[in-house]
Amino acid sequence: MPNSAERLGRAARRSDRLKVKIEMLPTLRRNIPLTEPMNEEQIEKMDDASLSILEEVGVEFHDPIALEHWKEAGASVEGERVRFDRGLIRELIKSIPESITMHARDPEKSLEIGGNNSIFVPMTGAPFLTDLENKRRMPTLDDLANFHKLSHMLPAIHSSAHHIVEPMDHAISHRHLRITYSSMKHSDKTFMGMTSSGKNAEDVIEMCKILFGEKFIDTHPVVTGNINGNSPLVWDQTMLSALRVFSAHNQPVLCSPFVLGGANTPASVAPTVAQVNAEALSALAYTQVIRKGAPAIYGHYLATVSMQSGAPMAGTPEISLMNFMIGQMARHYKVPWRSSNTLGGSKVFDAQSGYESASTMMAVLLSGANYIWHSADGMRLECIAQWQNLWLMLSNAKWAIEWLKE
């Protein structure tokens, strides 16, 4: 029978075992030079091309409130088509903060987005997963909870994001509430908020008020929301109404043209970047119409389309080249920017998945992206494969942090 000293020793060891210290790596601060294919003159040309698109072709805002806002702001509105004087765009984007401090529930996990910082955010939006019995099935809220827990525990992941998998066992009407609660409950890292409608975005903001306090969130960014564009040159009502809610509450949106290069953009790289840049600028400018000085993130989702079959392709080198160029444009405008990493066209966790993921990842790091979001959501790959990709790639990011410090 153990004596009392032994019992005390055991109790101490047991208590130690139960205290799991969740460590998060700091943001990746890049100390290696970025890959910048454009010189200063080419950046000016690209800027000029994008502002000419905004002036001459314009962008459609499929939303009566946004059209009213643009009229008031001095843009030319014709039907749903808005044309912008280049001076107006330049003036509006000036007030976007160059860097954003995102506040996490655990203040030690708060993050800087901007400058030479990169943060890593899990993939989201998978409608299927492959479980540990290797069975492909619809995900549930319990599965999502597990992914949120994993996000919380992985040191190189800086966010629990939102619907890493779609919890199909809950009705769409209140799914966004379940998702947001799961992000908040299972991790004290930063997270993303659902932007699937203006109303849903309002619910997210209400939940953030409960978690952080109403006054706090009005001056402190705590949640990011993604706003996808309907490229070419269209922003729709769903996204614009969610953008308004986030920006009005001082929460940053990712203004993300959704690019299927060659299908909804020109076939070659340079004009595609001009179009994406015009689209991103028009949404970034709109955040400042809603609230001058609100944080906002230059975004995009980049895929390409096979010129032979028309099939969407991820992990192609054109995507990397676009990332290099878009990074230069975002830095030119002094706005933090978001990209996606570990993109791949494979539907299983095989060598193709590995090398495409790594190629994209390396390019995104060298392009200087600040907010490095998920794997191939547009491709709707099976979640587990993507997750493993991300995980493995991020081990590299961890090493990278170590060696970049030297």
Q: CB of residue 21 vs a copy of itself: minimum separation in angstroms? A: 21
- Cα-to-chain-centroid distance, residue 300: 8
Closer CB to a copy of itself, 254 or 364, in the complex: 364
Which residues between 268 and 287 bind a copy of itself (CB under 8 A)?
268-270
Between CA 25 and CA 19 the distance in angstroms is 19
Q: CB of residue 357 vs a copy of itself: minimum separation in angstroms? A: 6
**Which two three-digit tokens encode residue 86?**
């280049």
> Do residues 276 and 322 touch, judged by C-beta distance below 8 A?
yes
Closer CB to a copy of itself, 7 or 136, in the complex: 136
Strand, coil or helix: what is 147?
helix
Q: CB of residue 137 vs a copy of itself: minimum separation in angstroms? A: 22
Closer CB to a copy of itself, 22 or 392, in the complex: 392
CA angle 218-26-344, nearest 5°? 95
Encoded one letter per residue, x for contact with a copy of itself by CB under 8 A and - for no contact, window 61-100 reads ----------------------------------------
Stretch that binds a copy of itself, among 88-96, 145-153, 244-252, 395-403 (CB under 8 A): 395-403
Q: Which residues contact 225 (CB under 8 A, 6 or more apart)?
A: 192, 193, 194, 195, 201, 204, 242, 243, 246, 251, 252, 253, 254
Q: CB of residue 400 vs a copy of itself: minimum separation in angstroms? A: 6
The letter for the amino acid at 84 is F
**Which two three-digit tokens encode residue 130?**
């492959």
Stretch that binds a copy of itself, among 33-41, 128-136, 165-173, 372-380 (CB under 8 A): 33-41
> Do residues 34 and 337 touch, judged by C-beta distance below 8 A?
no
> Do residues 228 and 143 touch, judged by C-beta distance below 8 A?
no
Q: Is 49 in the site for a copy of itself (CB under 8 A)?
A: no
Buried b (16+ CB within 10 A) or exposed e, 313-349: bbbbebbbbbbbbbbbbbbebebbbbbbbbbbbbeeb
Q: CB of residue 321 vs a copy of itself: minimum separation in angstroms? A: 5
**Which two three-digit tokens encode residue 190?**
């930063």
Q: CB of residue 306 vs a copy of itself: minimum separation in angstroms? A: 12
Which residues between 332 and 391 bind a copy of itself (CB under 8 A)?
349-359, 361-363, 366, 388-389
Q: CB of residue 253 vs a copy of itself: minimum separation in angstroms? A: 31
Encoded one letter per residue, x for contact with a copy of itself by CB under 8 A and - for no contact, window 293-322 reads -----------------------xxx--x-
Site residues for a copy of itself per CB under 8 A: 31-33, 35-37, 268-270, 316-318, 321, 324, 349-359, 361-363, 366, 388-389, 392-393, 396, 399-400, 403, 406
